[in-house]
Structure 1
Amino acid sequence: MAEDPRRRTPRTDAVLADPGVAEACRRLGRDRVKATVSTVLESCRRGEVAPEDVVASVLALLPAAPGSLRPVINATGVVVHTNLGRAPLSEAAVEAVVRAAGPTDVELDLDSGRRGRRGTATMAALAALVPDAGDVHVVNNGAAALGLAALALAQGRRIVIARGELVEIGDGFRIPELLESVGVELREVGTTNRVRLADYEAAVDESVAFLLKVHPSNFRVEGFTSSVSVEELAGLGRRTGLPVVVDIGSGLLAPHPRLPEEPDATTVLRAGASLVTASGDKLLGGPQAGLLMGEAELVHRLRRHPFARALRVDKLTLAALEATLSGPATPVAEALAARPEELMARARALALAIGPGLATAVASEGRVGGGGGPGVPLPSAAVALPHELAAPLRLGEPPVVGHVHDGRLLLDLLTVPAALDDTVADAVRRVAPADAREA
């Protein structure tokens, strides 16, 4: 009688000793790998996996890297895509994060051996790009920057804000709820589409702590509208002794020729704003962070507020932000500067590499995304494919995420680095039928 092959099921320690499995333990952790080994051995005992295939089955079930986040190729044409992690970091920022992953001098003065100020170089890099700010500070995101300003300057008091600027900033989070959560009361002025300086003037009394202007970054109001400029609010602030806080949202530090209507920190400060808040992971092109720039006395009050500790950024964010501010152009900046004719040349070459029977180069329009430049088209080029390939490409390795438009899947090259064109072509060839490519 033949021996039951299940009796040859290997021992757990024998599987763990396999060189490939041992390497996986080093990368992923022994406990995680051992749990997978146990699962496969149970399948082996049930006759579902051959004994000689146990090691291969274990390695097939283990992830290629620790963590559940997977790198994705963004072919949507949305430069700052919130669902894909907003701004992709520059190579310099990535290198800075890796260097900062171990022990660093983040709060140590190596010359004296004593404790040093946290993030000194990062703050200096930000201040250098916004010289109109008396001082700067960084917290962990844009909402935290505005929330800290409200908490430190207006808790128990009122903030005057135009009714049309009570915006929702994504995923159901709303500016008024954020501000009210830190113990301030909002005094709304004007209507949804029109507000005048007289509306602000009528709302000012001893209960008001500051005047707030919020850029409605993810929508546009057109038609019968009016708003009050930063200059006008600053004039009212000087007359009443009230600070003017401006949330520009997207993190643009200086004017950009392709985004003439997008507010930037330099222009807003020169217009008289007392304090500017912004995000670091949008048009700035850096890591998630909240930027505070403005009058030195106000920034100092925010930095020394007890709750500022809860919003402190870690060394990895400081490292990435410093490299973003002082290093080479970011992927976001490169996308905004991309020339449509160069993108079209890439699209034609990529379509040819995929197969003219399947792919076509077409003109397209990208978007800034992330609440920046609402309604502003970015001329681009894309590779058009059958829409049925959207899911297979999204589920492939690496995942390629495009967008379906007019019944076609478009892979927009505005957001795809040129170095990844061959990778995209290979990904499409893997999921597309050979006869379709050759048709």
Structure 2
Amino acid sequence: MSHDDPRRRIPRTDVLLADPRLAHARERLGAGVVREAVTAAQERARRGELEPEDVAATALAALPERASSMTPVLNATGVVVHTNVGRAPLSPVALEAVVDAAGYVDVELDLDTGARSRRGAGALAALRASVPAAGAALVVNNGAAALVLATTALASGREVVVSRGELVEIGDGFRLPDLIASTGARLREVGTTNRTHLADYLEAVGPETGCILKVHPSNFRVAGFVSSVGLSELRDVRRPDGSIVPVVADIGSGLLTPDAALPDEPDASTSLTDGATLVTASGDKLLGGPQAGIVVGDAATVETLRRHPLARALRVDKLTLAALEATLRGPVPPVTAFLHLTAAELRPRADRLAAALGREVVPVEGRVGGGGAPGVPLPGWAVEVPVAVVERLRRPEPGTPVVLARVEDGRGLVDLRCVPPERDADVRRALVAALADLGGSSPS
């Protein structure tokens, strides 16, 4: 390498890492990430792709904006419980609780005595208070885990009786029969796809029956010549020896008490009152909290689940417990607020956005999402944009928020239902940029 070779001017790694800008990034993102960016920039300079004086700036520009690879998005799809963007957004009080729990906390410690205590006692107490009919509660890591734990503890090596009309497939191709099979239980199917009667259950129950399973088909609807058996009819079904068969009701979406806006959606309180021994549900759907599997019901049966070895493998961490407790004790979570927004409340916001962009407002129907209340429309308004704008909103220029809109009937729709009002200006900014990039005209 000659003395005038520009590669001699490439800064050493230690000099670059001492640069105040990169040193600050190292504190925020970690030494490994920053060193990797520095090394890559140095290699580009050695290949002559950039000037040695630009190495530090190039390394800095290559660093991610956030410590996590996940990108925050504004949900303008009109789908409230959107699985692909993390289902329920946490409330401000739940976020505060997560931050508080991120350090050392008394998750399994009695501060009065210094002895070990029941894990997540606060969250469990809040859950019981929210479902007064429950004798006890348990929290695991998701709704499927709650169902697997219940059937494993009650029916491993025995039979689970379930209607053929309730053998559902949930997200990503997972099917109820496969989940039950994984527990070591045997599935005993009764009835037909569209009609199941009490007699079908009574004929199937025998000495090998571990439990009866009732599954709410939350992501589809069957209409017409149909019949099913309610929990009140199953509450006293007995084995030949006279023992009562426990009934597990998987309600899916996590509604704890009735909601007039969702009249056909089962809730935990009513299900227990009607005769369910246990109710299993998700915490990050209609409940509006973190991902969690909720089990409420008969105290002795819940204790059976809690003491099963599988419960240890399925338990939740302190952050989930903190967020769940704050969601249960705090004000109305975002999911509930979004679900109850009326078209009249949404119209002024849509009008302001449309006026700022020079676009049109059109009537739309949002959706509950997350496999809940599939037949319930959420009337509202949206700003119509070219379809190409929807894609552009997902991949904006740096510094512009990512906005998710939807395409329907060949048109792009920006629905503000699930956007906090204080973020409307951010949606407008993203749309102005997207329209400008695609050659559309809009006021600034």
TM-score category, normalised to shorter length:
over 0.9
Q: How many angstroms does 1:272 deviate by?
A: 1.1
What is the match of residue 55 of structure 2? 54
Say which SS state the counterpart of residue 417 (structure 2) adopts: helix
What is the match of residue 364 of structure 1? 364
What is the match of residue 172 of structure 1? 173
1:326 aligns with 2:313: no
Instruction: Provide structure 1 residue ranges, at least 5 long, that are not aligned to the other structure.
Output: none
What is the match of residue 386 of structure 1? 386
- Say whether the 8 Å CA contact 1:237–1:244 is kept in structure 2: no
| 238-247 or 218-227, larger mean C-alpha shift | 238-247
Amino acid across the alignment from 2:376? V
Amino acid across the alignment from 2:316? V
What is the match of residue 267 of structure 1? 270
- Say whether the 8 Å CA contact 2:236–2:245 is kept in structure 1: no
* Deviation string, structure 1 residues 256-279 (Cα, Å, up to 9, x no partner): 011000000011111011111101
Say which SS state the counterpart of residue 367 (structure 1) adopts: strand
TM-score (norm 2): 0.96
What is the match of residue 129 of structure 2? 128
Q: How many angstroms does 1:48 deviate by?
A: 1.0
- State which of 249, 252, 256 in structure 1 corresponds to 2:255: 252
Q: How many angstroms does 1:2 deviate by?
A: 11
Change in CA separation of 1:435 and 1:386 when aligned onto 2, cut-off 3 Å: closer
What is the match of residue 36 of structure 1? 37
Say which SS state the counterpart of residue 47 (structure 1) adopts: coil
Q: How many angstroms does 1:236 deviate by?
A: 2.5
Q: How many angstroms does 1:372 deviate by?
A: 0.6
* Deviation string, structure 1 residues 29-72 (Cα, Å, up to 9, x no partner): 11211111011011112221122222221111100111211111
Structure 2 counterparts to residues 162-241 of structure 1, below 5 A = 162-237=163-238, 241=244
Whole-angstrom CA distance in 1 between matches of 2:17 and 2:58: 13
- Say whether the 8 Å CA contact 2:283–2:292 is kept in structure 1: yes
Amino acid across the alignment from 1:170? G
Change in CA separation of 1:107 and 1:240 when aligned onto 2, cut-off 3 Å: closer
- Say whether the 8 Å CA contact 1:287–1:317 is kept in structure 2: yes
Whole-angstrom CA distance in 1 between matches of 2:372 and 2:405: 20
1:342 aligns with 2:345: yes
What is the match of residue 289 of structure 2? 286
* Deviation string, structure 1 residues 231-253 (Cα, Å, up to 9, x no partner): 11113359751111100000000
- State percent identity of aligned pairs: 59
RMSD of Structure 2 on Structure 1 (CA) = 1.6
Say which SS state the counterpart of residue 373 (structure 1) adopts: strand
Change in CA separation of 1:435 and 1:231 when aligned onto 2, cut-off 3 Å: closer
TM-score (norm 1): 0.97
Change in CA separation of 1:2 and 1:304 when aligned onto 2, cut-off 3 Å: closer
Amino acid across the alignment from 2:120? G
Q: How many angstroms does 1:382 deviate by?
A: 1.2
Change in CA separation of 1:438 and 1:413 when aligned onto 2, cut-off 3 Å: closer
Whole-angstrom CA distance in 2 between matches of 1:438 and 1:320: 41
- State which of 290, 294, 298 in structure 2 corresponds to 1:295: 298
1:409 aligns with 2:412: yes
What is the match of residue 355 of structure 2? 352
- Say whether the 8 Å CA contact 1:211–1:237 is kept in structure 2: no
- Say whether the 8 Å CA contact 1:344–1:362 is kept in structure 2: no
Size of the aligned set, in residue pairs, is 436
Q: How many angstroms does 1:322 deviate by?
A: 0.2
What is the match of residue 437 of structure 1? 442
Say which SS state the counterpart of residue 236 (structure 1) adopts: coil
What is the match of residue 374 of structure 2? 374
- Say whether the 8 Å CA contact 1:89–1:286 is kept in structure 2: yes
Q: How many angstroms does 1:8 deviate by?
A: 1.8
Say which SS state the counterpart of residue 40 (structure 1) adopts: helix
- Say whether the 8 Å CA contact 2:211–2:247 is kept in structure 1: yes
- Say whether the 8 Å CA contact 2:279–2:296 is kept in structure 1: yes
Q: How many angstroms does 1:375 deviate by?
A: 1.6
Whole-angstrom CA distance in 2 between matches of 1:93 and 1:312: 19
- Say whether the 8 Å CA contact 2:236–2:244 is kept in structure 1: no
Whole-angstrom CA distance in 1 between matches of 2:403 and 2:5: 45
